[in-house]
C-alpha cells in the first residue's frame, strides 16, 4: 500500500492550509477584524470608540459580549462580578499550591482548574484577577489583599496587586482590557470554541484557552518586548535587531496573522499611555513614560524597516503586544504578569465565544492527511 492508495479522512483533500490561514470556521456576532484596513469592531462598536471612551469600563463591554454570545438582552452584572471576586478570595486558602507555581500562567491554569470547577461564566470571570494577583503576592512572599465588590474590576485588580488604583490608572487598565476583550478567532478563542464544541463545561474551555494564550506567538510576547526595549535602550536598535534575526529569532511585538497594516490596537494603547502620562503629571507625579514611548517608537520604526527589507512581500508591522508592554509597564504591573493580565481581559471574549459555540451545537473536528509510515508490523 502507498499513500496514493489511502482514502483520506473526509474533507482532508480539500485544504492543507498552513495554520488554517484564511479558513473561516465560525459565524460570530462578537468581533470583526479587517486586516487590510486595520479595523477592529468589538460587540458592534469600533475599538477606538469603546476603549478611549471616558465613560466606559470593562464591565459593560464584557456584559455586551456575553449577552451577544447568549443571544440575550444585555444586563448589568457589575455587582455579581464584584461578588464573584469576593467569593474567589474565600477559595484562595485551598489553592495556595496552585497559585505558588513559579510561572504566573501555570499558576492561573492550575488555580482556575482547581478553583472554578462547575463555575458559571461570571463566577469564573470574577475569579481570574483575584487568582492572578494572589499568585503574584504569594510568589513575592507577601500577604494576599482582599477584593471589594464596590470597586470596579480594574480598580480592584490594581488594588489587589498593591498598586495605586486612582481613576486615571483604572481607566488605562479598562482601556487595555476593553481593547483585548475579543479579536476574532485568535488561537486561544479558537481553542475555547473547540473545547466548548465537545459539550465540556466552562472551566475546561477557559483553562485550555489560557494554555493557548501562554505561547510567545500569541499572548506571551509583551514581556520579551520590554526585554527588547531594555536591551536597545541608549543604543541604535538596528544592530540588536539584526543580531536577533541572524540568530533565527523573531522580533517580538511585530507581525500578525491577519493585519497587513499597523494593528489598530497599537494606536489605542499609544493614546491610552499618553493620556495616563498627562493625568499622572496633573496629579503631580513624575513619569518616565514619555521617554519610554519615544524609544519604543524608534525601535518599532527600526524593526519595521528591517523586516520590510527581509520580507518585502509581507508587511510586518507592530502588533497589539508591542504597546501592551508599555501600557502595562506604565501601570507598574510586573512583566511576569503581562500574559495573565491579558487573560483577564480576553476571558470576556472566550466566555462569549463559548456561549456562541454552544448555540451552534456542532462538534469542531477537522480532518488530517496521513503522511506517516506505511509498514507491515513484523
Ligand atoms: N520577526 C521576524 N520575522 C517574522 C516575524 C517577526 N516578528 N513575524 C513573521 N516573520 C516572518 C517569518 O519568519 C516568516 O518568514 P519565512 O517565510 O522566511 O520563514 C514570515 O514572516 C511569515 O511568518 P509566519 O509565521 O508564517 O506568519 P504568521 O501569520 O503565521 O505569524 C505571528 C504571525 C504573530 C505568529 C508572527 O508574526 C510572529 O511570530 N510575531 C512575533 C510574536 C508576536 O509578536 N506575537 C504576538 C502576536 S499578536
Report DSSP letters for 32-52, one per residue.
Answer: EEETTTTEEEETTEEHHHHHT
Ligand 1 contacts CB of residue 255 (under 6 A): yes
Structural contact between residues 176 and 159, judged by C-beta atoms closer than 8 angstroms: no
The confidence score (pLDDT) of residue 130 equals 98
Asked if residue 14 has pLDDT above 80, the reply is no
Asked if residue 234 has pLDDT above 50, the reply is yes
pLDDT digits (tens, 9 = 90+) for 54-94: 889 999 999 999 999 999 999 999 999 999 999 999 999 99
Asked if residue 25 has pLDDT above 50, the reply is yes
Structural contact between residues 213 and 188, judged by C-beta atoms closer than 8 angstroms: yes
Ligand 1 contacts CB of residue 263 (under 6 A): no
Mean pLDDT of 123-146: 98
Which of the pair, 171 or 281, is modelled with greater confidence?
171
Sign of dihedral through CA atoms 211, 217, 222, 228? positive
Mean of per-residue pLDDT scores for the chain: 93
Residue nearest to atom 39 of ligand 1 (CA): 217
All three cell numbers of 265, joined, read: 490596537
Which of the pair, 18 or 114, is modelled with greater confidence?
114
Mean pLDDT of 97-125: 97
Rounded Cα distance between 308 and 295, Å, is 20
Q: In percent, how much of the chain has pLDDT > 90?
A: 79
Ligand 1 contacts CB of residue 221 (under 6 A): yes
Rounded Cα distance between 366 and 12, Å, is 8
Asked if residue 377 has pLDDT above 90, the reply is no
Mean pLDDT of 101-115: 98
Mean pLDDT of 174-195: 97
Least confident of 24-28, 123-127, 233-237: 233-237
Q: In percent, how much of the chain has pLDDT > 70?
A: 94
Where is 2: in which H helix or E strand?
none
| Local confidence band at 1 (pLDDT 50, 70, 90 cut-offs) | low
pLDDT digits (tens, 9 = 90+) for 247-263: 999 999 999 989 988 88
Q: Where are the alpha helices (DSSP H) in the chain?
A: 47-51, 58-70, 78-91, 96-99, 104-115, 121-139, 153-160, 167-180, 187-197, 202-214, 222-232, 237-246, 264-282, 289-310, 320-330, 338-360
pLDDT digits (tens, 9 = 90+) for 307-357: 999 999 998 999 988 999 999 999 999 999 999 999 999 999 999 999 999
Q: How far is the CA of 38 from the centre of ligand 1 (A)?
A: 17
Q: Tell which atom from ligand 1 comes closest to the C-alpha of 250.
A: 1
| Local confidence band at 13 (pLDDT 50, 70, 90 cut-offs) | very low
Least confident of 184-193, 312-321, 356-365: 312-321
Residue nearest to atom 36 of ligand 1 (CA): 255
| Local confidence band at 289 (pLDDT 50, 70, 90 cut-offs) | confident
Query: What residues contact 375, with CB distance under 8 A and at least 6 apart?
Result: none
Rounded Cα distance between 19 and 41, Å, is 24
Ligand 1 contacts CB of residue 260 (under 6 A): no
All three cell numbers of 49, joined, read: 470608540
- Considering 2-11, 41-50, 252-261, the range whose residues carry the highest mean pLDDT is 41-50
**Strand blocks (E) in the chain:** 31-34, 39-42, 45-46
Pocket test of ligand 1: the residue of 215, 243, 250, 322 to mutate, having most ligand atoms within 8 Å of its CB, is 250
Ligand 1 contacts CB of residue 142 (under 6 A): no
Q: Tell which atom from ligand 1 comes closest to the C-alpha of 225.
A: 44
Structural contact between residues 108 and 135, judged by C-beta atoms closer than 8 angstroms: yes
Cα 238 to the chain's mean position, in Å?
A: 28
Amino acid at each position: 500500500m502507498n499513500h496514493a492508495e489511502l482514502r483520506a479522512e473526509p474533507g482532508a483533500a480539500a485544504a492543507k492550509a498552513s495554520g488554517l490561514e484564511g479558513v473561516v470556521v465560525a459565524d460570530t456576532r462578537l468581533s470583526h477584524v479587517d486586516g487590510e484596513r486595520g479595523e477592529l469592531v468589538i460587540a458592534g462598536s469600533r475599538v477606538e470608540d469603546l476603549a478611549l471612551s471616558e465613560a466606559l469600563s470593562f464591565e459593560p463591554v464584557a456584559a455586551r459580549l456575553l449577552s451577544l454570545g447568549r443571544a440575550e438582552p444585555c444586563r448589568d452584572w457589575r455587582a455579581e462580578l464584584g461578588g464573584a471576586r469576593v467569593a474567589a478570595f474565600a477559595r484562595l486558602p485551598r489553592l495556595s499550591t496552585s497559585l505558588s507555581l513559579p510561572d504566573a500562567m501555570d499558576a492561573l491554569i492550575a488555580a482556575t482548574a482547581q478553583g472554578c470547577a462547575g463555575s458559571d461564566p461570571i463566577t469564573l470571570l470574577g475569579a481570574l484577577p483575584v487568582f492572578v494577583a494572589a499568585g503574584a503576592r504569594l510568589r513575592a512572599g507577601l500577604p494576599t489583599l482582599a477584593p471589594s465588590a464596590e470597586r470596579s474590576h480594574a480598580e480592584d485588580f490594581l488594588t489587589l496587586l498593591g498598586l495605586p488604583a486612582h481613576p486615571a490608572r483604572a481607566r488605562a487598565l479598562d482601556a487595555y482590557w476593553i481593547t483585548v476583550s475579543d479579536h476574532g478567532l485568535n488561537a486561544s478563542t479558537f481553542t475555547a470554541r473547540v473545547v466548548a464544541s465537545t459539550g465540556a463545561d466552562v472551566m475546561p474551555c477557559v483553562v485550555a484557552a489560557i494554555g493557548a494564550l501562554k505561547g510567545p506567538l500569541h499572548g506571551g510576547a509583551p514581556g520579551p518586548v520590554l526585554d527588547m526595549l531594555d536591551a536597545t535602550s541608549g543604543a541604535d536598535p538596528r544592530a540588536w535587531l539584526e543580531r536577533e534575526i541572524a540568530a533565527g529569532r523573531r522580533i517580538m511585538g511585530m507581525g500578525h496573522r491577519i493585519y497587513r497594516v499597523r494593528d489598530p490596537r497599537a494606536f489605542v494603547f499609544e493614546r491610552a499611555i499618553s493620556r495616563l502620562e498627562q493625568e499622572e503629571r496633573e496629579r503631580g507625579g513624575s513619569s518616565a513614560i514619555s521617554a519610554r514611548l519615544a524609544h519604543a517608537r524608534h525601535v518599532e520604526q527600526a524593526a519595521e524597516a528591517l523586516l520590510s527589507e527581509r520580507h518585502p512581500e509581507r508587511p510586518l508591522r507592530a502588533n497589539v503586544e508591542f504597546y501592551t508592554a508599555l501600557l502595562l509597564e506604565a501601570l507598574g504591573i510586573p512583566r511576569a504578569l503581562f500574559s495573565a493580565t491579558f487573560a483577564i481581559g480576553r476571558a470576556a471574549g472566550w466566555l462569549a465565544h463559548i456561549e456562541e459555540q454552544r448555540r451552534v451545537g456542532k462538534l469542531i473536528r477537522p480532518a488530517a492527511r496521513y503522511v506517516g509510515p506505511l509498514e507491515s508490523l513484523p
